[in-house]
Chains A and B, each alone.
Chain A
Amino acid sequence: NAGVTQTPKFRVLKTGQSMTLLCAQDMNHEYMYWYRQDPGMGLRLIHYSVGEGTTAKGEVPDGYNVSRLKKQNFLLGLESAAPSQTSVYFCASTVLPGTGELFFGEGSRLTVL
């Protein structure tokens, strides 16, 4: 059982480049989330999705876009990367938004030079 898988795990970008982070879950969860974590900080919500074809903004959405074309996948895109987007990105999913456990991926470490 893979759970939540994030790819890539590490990436270095130059300012202005674009990239996409992929989150895949094999638990048939409706709800998926993208968080970022900066050094010494808690996680902050970027975007989330309550089902296939839906997306919504979280706490820090600027500079990011997302898509949920398939239920099992949640993509996070950076159209023009900036050094301020250097961070560790975590994807999570859950079946019950109120009480259900969130399952997190191992994280994707992104450095923007």
Chain B
Amino acid sequence: DAKTTQPNSMESNEEEPVHLPCNHSTISGTDYIHWYRQLPSQGPEYVIHGLTSNVNNRMASLAIAEDRKSSTLILHRATLRDAAVYYCILRELNAGGTSYGKLTFGQGTILTVHP
């Protein structure tokens, strides 16, 4: 599985934007970029995913570099509830691939949000 590199931790103030970077220099053409987050004492939850174009949803935005070797998860206005571990993960597109859609989690980025 292609690997991702994320900073161990980041800090933000409430109501400020947060940019969480992820490097994935070995990404293949069929890898989707997924972001999940894990709130304290909970299971991971889906945040957003994309392939080549930038994506927006109600939770966040995903900015993907033109060469796809890096991406940035953007939380437009951080709240205290956004304090979590954020995981950047690559998933193969095809069901017939060896990954069968399983996620390979790295260490993630611990986001601390200050009031």
Contact = CB atoms under 8 A, between A and B. Distances in A.
A99 B45 contact: no
A100 interface: yes
A48 B102 CA distance: 8
Interface in B63-115: 87, 91-95, 97, 99-108
A78 interface: no
Interface stretch (A14-22, A61-69, A79-87, A89-97): A89-97
Number of chain A interface residues as a range: 20 to 34
B107 A99 contact: no
A38 B103 CA distance: 16
Contacts of A101: 46, 49
Contacts of B29: none
Describe B's contact surface by its main secondary structure.
loop
Nearest to B105: A42
27 contacts: A31-B100, A33-B102, A33-B103, A35-B105, A41-B107, A42-B105, A42-B107, A42-B108, A44-B105, A48-B100, A50-B95, A50-B100, A58-B102, A59-B104, A90-B44, A92-B44, A96-B95, A97-B91, A97-B95, A97-B101, A98-B32, A98-B92, A99-B49, A101-B46, A102-B46, A104-B44, A107-B42
Interface residues of B, number: 26
Interface of B: 32, 36, 41-46, 49, 87, 91-95, 97, 99-108
A112 interface: no
Contact of A104 (B43, B91, B94, B97): B43
B105 A90 contact: no
A107 B43 contact: yes
A43 B46 contact: no
